[in-house]
């Protein structure tokens, strides 16, 4: 069986304490740190940009997984790579030239991720298999944490796993991951589970033990 990685989304962390929050979740045993960048245009919410990512980077020992919910995206790739992102994920829906976008990400030395909104099919992935290191299946409409898991995405994930087979491409699942939904997505072939509210609930920088319990429960 595939090793499952947990990637807490700092969208659910204390925005005034990102450094300490990243250190706390790593100390509590997470695998990757998932960083949600939103522009108020591609998605109806705004978070932060590359300078915040660079500041966070100093507090992350492991993989910094940057999810770009921005359009246009190409002109910002170098800045996010320079911020120290290990994985940079762009949305298929963010522009007409996803192939070029993925090429540009790889050219920086970062791993290239491709995210699909819930209403987007997997057909395009077949033409990008040699261009991606990760495919992110959104199980909520992107923009906010704490939304309800969209069940119809499980079949999509299973079809994506069949398409990817044993290629070294991660299937990441983002949105609504809980103790209840995590086994479903793992069985459907996901190997990186992003979880925001489910990891950060009940804990804080001052009291981070619940983060660890939440990670282990997922």
Three-state DSSP state, 163: helix
9 lines the binding site for ligand DX5 (CB under 6 A):
yes
DSSP strand pairing (63-69 vs 5-8): unpaired
* Contact (Cβ atoms closer than 8 angstroms) between residue 166 and residue 138: no
For the window 125-164, what string marks contact with Zn ion as x by the rule CB under 5 A? ----------------------------------------
- Cα-based distances in Å from 187 to 3, 47, 57, 179, 181: 12, 32, 32, 13, 10
For the window 176-205, what string marks contact with ligand DX5 as x by the rule CB under 6 A? xx----------------xxxxx-------
174 lines the binding site for Zn ion (CB under 5 A):
yes
Among 142, 161, 169, 181, binds ligand DX5 (CB under 6 A): 142
The region of 9-17, 88-96, 105-113, 185-193 touching ligand DX5 under the rule CB under 6 A is 9-17
Of these partners, ligand DX5, Zn ion, none, which one is at the site of residue 131 (CB under 5 to 8 Å by kind)? none
Min dist. Cβ of residue 11 to Zn ion (A): 7
Reply yes or no on whether 133 is catalytic.
no
Q: Distance between CA 29 and CA 19 in Å, rounded? A: 16
* Contact (Cβ atoms closer than 8 angstroms) between residue 136 and residue 164: no
Of these partners, ligand DX5, Zn ion, none, which one is at the site of residue 203 (CB under 5 to 8 Å by kind)? none
Reply yes or no on whether 174 is catalytic.
yes
Q: How many helices (H) and strands (E) does the chain have?
A: 8, 8
Q: Distance between CA 44 and CA 42 in Å, rounded? A: 7
Q: Could you list the active site residues?
A: 36, 174
Write out the binding residues for a divalent metal cation. 34, 36, 67, 174
């Amino acid at each position: 069986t595939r090793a499952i990685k947990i990637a807490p989304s700092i969208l659910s962390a204390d925005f005034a304490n990102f450094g300490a929050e990243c250190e706390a979740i790593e100390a509590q045993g997470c695998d990757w740190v998932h960083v949600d960048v939103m522009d108020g245009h591609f998605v109806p919410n705004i978070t932060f940009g590359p300078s915040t990512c660079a500041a966070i980077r100093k507090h992350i020992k492991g993989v910094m997984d940057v999810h770009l919910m921005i359009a246009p995206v190409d002109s910002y790739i170098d800045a996010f790579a320079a911020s120290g992102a290990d994985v940079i994920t762009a949305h298929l829906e963010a522009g007409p030239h996803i192939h070029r976008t993925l090429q540009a990400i790889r050219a920086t030395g970062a791993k290239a991720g491709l995210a699909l909104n819930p209403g987007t099919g997997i057909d395009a992935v077949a033409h990008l298999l040699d261009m991606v290191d990760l495919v992110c299946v959104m199980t909520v409409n992107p923009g906010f944490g704490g939304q309800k898991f969209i069940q119809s995405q499980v079949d999509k994930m299973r079809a994506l796993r069949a398409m990817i087979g044993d290629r070294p491409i991660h299937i990441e699942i983002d949105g609504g991951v809980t103790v209840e939904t995590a086994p479903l997505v793992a069985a459907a072939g996901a190997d990186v589970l992003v979880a925001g509210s489910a990891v950060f609930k009940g804990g804080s920088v001052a009291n981070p033990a619940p983060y660890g319990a939440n990670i282990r429960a997922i």
